[in-house]
Amino acid sequence: MKILIVEDEDAILKALVNKFIGEKFSVLQAKNGEEGLNLALLNKPDLILLDIILPKMDGMTMMKKLREANSWGKSVPVILLTNLNADEKIMKGIIENEPAYYLVKTDWTLDQVVEKVRERLSRV
């Protein structure tokens, strides 16, 4: 299974990448929204783990562009993995772009994140 992790914080990115490689995933990584969007469209991963606050292009914008890009982009599952509490603006984006989950990082362990990813991928 191929996943894309878009995260600007090195320590978090490293932890996630290590974890998912350890769990036998094939992992792509990007440190900003622009890079993430390009990688996604090019490699078509099975799932995207997306942070919201990102340099160059934020996560919500990247998700919107992805949904608008093509039929693959429209349906690829996205898990928002962030430290923000969902305010009205984010909620609106969530409703419009239907990500799979909205996870606040501090509330979840890595094991639980992996579990959520597997659960979503098993649904097809």
Residues in contact with other proteins by CB under 8 A are 9, 11-12, 15-16, 18-19, 83-85, 87-88, 91, 104-106, 109-111
Min dist. Cβ of residue 28 to other proteins (A):
19
Beta strands across the sheet bearing 47-50: 26-30, 2-6, 47-50, 78-82, 101-104
C-alpha to C-alpha distance for 30 and 72, rounded to whole angstroms: 19
By beta-carbon proximity to other proteins, the closer residue of 52 and 78 is 52
Min dist. Cβ of residue 87 to other proteins (A):
6
C-alpha to C-alpha distance for 70 and 109, rounded to whole angstroms: 33
Min dist. Cβ of residue 40 to other proteins (A):
23
Q: Which residue, chain included where needed, has tokens 């969007």? A: 37
By beta-carbon proximity to other proteins, the closer residue of 84 and 121 is 84
